[in-house]
Amino acid sequence: MNTENTAPAAPLEEPAAPRRTRFEEFWRLLRKNSLALAGLVVFGLFLATAVAGVFLTSGSKPVLDPSVVRLQEKLRPPLSRSDAASLKPDEIPAMGVYLFGTDDLGRDVFARMLQGAWVSLTVGFVAVGISVAIGIFMGAIAGYYGQQYVRLEQVMLAAWLLGGAALLAAGVRTLGAVVLVAGHAWLFFSISPWGVSRRKSPPPWMRIFLKGTIRVDTIIMRFVDIMLCFPSFFLILTVVALLPASIYTIMIVIGLTSWEGTARFVRAEFLSLREQDFVAAARALGVGNFRIIFRHMTPNAIAPVLVSATIGIASAILTEAGLSFLGFGVPPPHATWGNILSDGKRFIFDAPWLTFIPGAAILLVVLAFNLFGEGLRDILNPKLRQRN
Amino acid sequence: MENETLNAQDILKVEGLRKRFPIRRGFLQRAAGWVNAVENVSFSIERGKTLGLVGESGCGKTTVARMILKLLPSDAGRIVFNGVDLCGISDAEMKPLRKQIQIIFQDPYGSLNPRMSVGEAIGEGLRMAGVRGRNATAARTEELLARVGLSARAIDRYPHEFSGGQRQRIGIARALSVEPSLIICDEPVSALDVSIQAQIINLLKDLQDQLGLSYLFISHDLNVVGYLCHRVAVMYRGQIMEHAPTEELFEHPLHPYTHLLLSAVPDPEAGKKPAVETLESEPPESAPELPEGCRFQVKCLDNDERCRRFGGALTQAGKDHFVRCWKA
């Protein structure tokens, strides 16, 4: 390295560290973690199976039809050949073989498993997508704006609007509408230049509205604590019992009840990131809060979120399977791993494959996600990395 | 200081700045006491000149810097920048002024976003400065990198690929991207090797000559301050103890604390000077309560009854030389 500072036009220091992108570094560490790599491989196979399953089992003339009932061929063991003589041509399974056997209605379990894979995959990803989005949002607000107080004015306004909504819901139409309209007028007034918080020097009687009541952090994190008090599986059972049974309801409900962990992670990361110099530098440049949160802080807080999301996918798949097993999941004609398992339990001694095949599939996928998630945690945490 | 008149030459004028932090205790997090981090601090910086702010760790230097940047609200006092009092204006009014005042941090590792490439980090500043378009941004980024002595190849690289000195240069380039007139240097070289320190300091000096920048240079290293600064303010536990032009302060230090700091400077002639001795005392950060009278008396060898009755006013001891000690 040169010691003299020369004319600025002549660069005197060249980057010294070896050039390695983040992805190369990630891949290098992943290859060394064989369990995580196995998890990733199983995840890849699962993804391929689920996507192939959609193409093979849907449409007007699917290659593998999961809904063909062949009562004369019921409870056939895996790998048994179909009896071509007793079936109509379009009832014969692909290649004439029941790969995973048939169930009590003679439906092809392989086709049903393929159809169910897509359900598990989408439930896992959509539910976790919802929960991560809510978790990052809530955690970011609690971490970034947490130390600010909610003003008395805002509490009163929120109570007023909620009261109006409650009146409407209770059937007191006229009064509820009047309250809501007045509430909105109040809202617009408060964000106008004449609002209390916008005035340079509000009159003394108005200042009481500016009084801080409760911290943003307290509101959000106590709400998280309350949400965590409910056993989430029973909360989901209750909600699913009240709402129409559909795969989308289940995804949304699982997503809405599992964001608390992510929110806590993101809040903790934000609390430490907001004190970092690069955040102060961005604020000194005049970068807006929104951009600081999403461009500067979130990318640095994403590692623990990614880990909890991966493990969250496993638990969402498990929750969906549990709900389907109990009969609260996706309605019956559509196959899911949970309801195949549930249907099979009556024949566990006569046809054990009906229980073991979906059970093993759930076990394998959940285990793969958990192993990959744990490996990801080790890879993304620089403190746990081995130096070499 | 107290009788200073308004000077149009001043880019920044700080008057009676105060900040205290609560010590929160217990279940309800009530304030159990207060730490006076900054108390009645006043100084001004002339356009194109450098003011050194010197003092030990925890004396409130960085708090002053953060208040000037409005990263931290001040409790009292005025921060007049180019004739505008920054304390009285809203965030929206502050936004266009933000570009005028920039900061260079002490820690070159924490001051760059690890997930943003050098080009993105500088480009963000350029966007705030109103530079639009891919080509214009790239050209200006290269120009800024060249100005701080880095090659254009750095653009696509990430902070972890650079050394501490290189990162500090990137931080300087980012600060320059919005064309500021005042840069607060918060101990910019104290985390660097001595050889790199000299490069960065020379870079700062060159930039001042080329761009007419004003600096508030925060440091605890008097060698650096003596080389770079036109005036020096010595801070101790939240107060400015002595304030004078650099040569004056180095040749005729009046406050015992300044003596102490100067005696701590490694110097080839140090053997000839009698080292200033102090009373053994607790470091300031572990003792939030202040003594009656002069706050330096706990460390000052030459303290007596009058120190305890000392009102703590800054007095003029010479032309442009101010000191907070009754003996001066």
Which of A11, A284, A299 faces B69 most closely, judged by CB atoms?
A284
Domain membership flag for residue B89: yes
For residue B41, pLDDT beyond 50: yes
| CA of B198 vs chain A CAs: smallest distance (Å) | 8
CB crowding A305-317: b at 16 or more within 10 Å, else e: bebbbbbbbbbbb
At B72, which CATH number?
A: 3.40.50.300
Instruction: Decide if B200 contacts A6 (C-beta within 8 A).
Output: no
At A63, which CATH number?
A: 1.10.3720.10
Locate tokens 């009854």: which residue?
B305
With beta carbons under 8 A apart, name residues in chain B contacting A14: 151, 153
Task: Convert the pLDDT of each residue in B273-305 to its tens digit.
Answer: 545 556 555 555 445 566 777 878 777 777 777
For residue B3, pLDDT beyond 50: no
- The Cα–Cα gap between A214 and A111 comes to 56
| CA of B105 vs chain A CAs: smallest distance (Å) | 7
Q: Give the strand pairing for B84-85 and B76-81.
A: antiparallel
Locate tokens 């359900």: which residue?
A119
Q: What is the ipTM of this complex?
A: 0.85
For residue B160, pLDDT beyond 50: yes
- The Cα–Cα gap between A354 and A348 comes to 7
φ, ψ of residue A273 to 5 degrees: the values are: -70, -35
Number of compact structural domains in chain B: 1
Domain membership flag for residue B50: yes
For residue B27, pLDDT beyond 60: yes
Domain membership flag for residue B133: no
Instruction: Decide if B284 contacts B278 (C-beta within 8 A).
Output: no
Task: Convert the pLDDT of each residue in A272-292 to its tens digit.
Answer: 999 899 999 999 998 989 999
For residue B34, pLDDT beyond 50: yes
- The Cα–Cα gap between B194 and B164 comes to 12
Domain membership flag for residue B64: yes
| CA distances, B189 to each of A315, B61, B96, B182 (Å) | 50, 15, 29, 18
Residues 6+ apart with CB under 8 A from B284: B56, B58, B59, B237
Rounded average pLDDT over B214-221: 91
- The Cα–Cα gap between A183 and A200 comes to 24
Judged by CB atoms closer than 8 Å, whether chains meet at B113 and A285 is answered as: no
Domain membership flag for residue B294: no
Please give the residue that has the higher pLDDT: either B270 or B163: B163
User: Does residue A191 belong to the interface with chain B, where contact is any CB pair within 8 Å?
Assistant: no
Domain membership flag for residue A110: yes
Judged by CB atoms closer than 8 Å, whether chains meet at B113 and A283 is answered as: no
Q: What is the total residue count of chain B? A: 328
pLDDT at B288: 57
Stretches where chain A sits below pLDDT 50 are 1-11, 386-388
Alpha helices, DSSP H, located in A327-352: 337-344
pLDDT at B281: 54
Domain membership flag for residue A50: yes
Domain membership flag for residue A309: yes
Instruction: Decide if A107 contacts A82 (C-beta within 8 A).
Output: no
- The Cα–Cα gap between B79 and B131 comes to 29
Domain membership flag for residue A2: no
pLDDT at B174: 94
For residue B105, pLDDT beyond 60: yes
Instruction: Decide if B209 contacts B289 (C-beta within 8 A).
Output: no
With beta carbons under 8 A apart, name residues in chain A contacting B110: 276-278
Which of A1, A13, A277 faces B150 most closely, judged by CB atoms?
A13
pLDDT at A8: 44
Domain membership flag for residue B312: no
Judged by CB atoms closer than 8 Å, whether chains meet at A17 and B111 is answered as: no
Judged by CB atoms closer than 8 Å, whether chains meet at A15 and B154 is answered as: yes
Return the DSSP state at A107: -
* Token digits of residue A79: 């790998």
Residues β-bridged to residue A98: A80
- The Cα–Cα gap between A111 and A99 comes to 9
- The Cα–Cα gap between A276 and B110 comes to 6
Domain membership flag for residue A21: no
Q: How many CB atoms lie within 10 A of CB A24?
A: 10
With beta carbons under 8 A apart, name residues in chain B contacting A294: none
For residue B6, pLDDT beyond 80: no
Domain membership flag for residue B267: no
Task: Convert the pLDDT of each residue in B165-209 to its tens digit.
Answer: 999 999 999 999 999 999 999 999 888 888 889 999 999 999 999
Residue B184: domain span: 10-100+180-252
Place B7 in a pLDDT band, splitting at 50, 70 and 90. low
pLDDT at A4: 42
Q: Which of B98, B111, B113, B145 to mutate to test the interface with A (most CBs of A within 10 A)?
A: B113
- The Cα–Cα gap between B256 and A279 comes to 38
With beta carbons under 8 A apart, name residues in chain A contacting B66: 280
φ, ψ of residue A10 to 5 degrees: the values are: -95, 110
Q: Which DSSP helix (H) or strand (E) runs through B272?
A: none
Number of compact structural domains in chain A: 1
With beta carbons under 8 A apart, name residues in chain B contacting A215: none
Task: Convert the pLDDT of each residue in B107-124 to its tens digit.
Answer: 888 899 988 889 999 999
Judged by CB atoms closer than 8 Å, whether chains meet at B124 and A5 is answered as: no
**What count of CB pairs under 8 Å joins A to B?**
108
Domain membership flag for residue B18: yes
Which of A6, A13, A276 faces B166 most closely, judged by CB atoms?
A13
The string of DSSP letters for A218-234 reads HHHHHHHHHHHHS-HHH
Q: Kindly provide the residue ranges of all beta strands, DSSP E only, lying in B97-154, ordered along the sequence.
A: 101-104
For residue B5, pLDDT beyond 50: no
Region for residue B221 given its phi and psi (left: phi exceeds 0; alpha: psi -120 to 50; beta: otherwise): beta
CB crowding A47-63: b at 16 or more within 10 Å, else e: eebbeebbebbeeeebe
Residue A204: domain span: 39-384
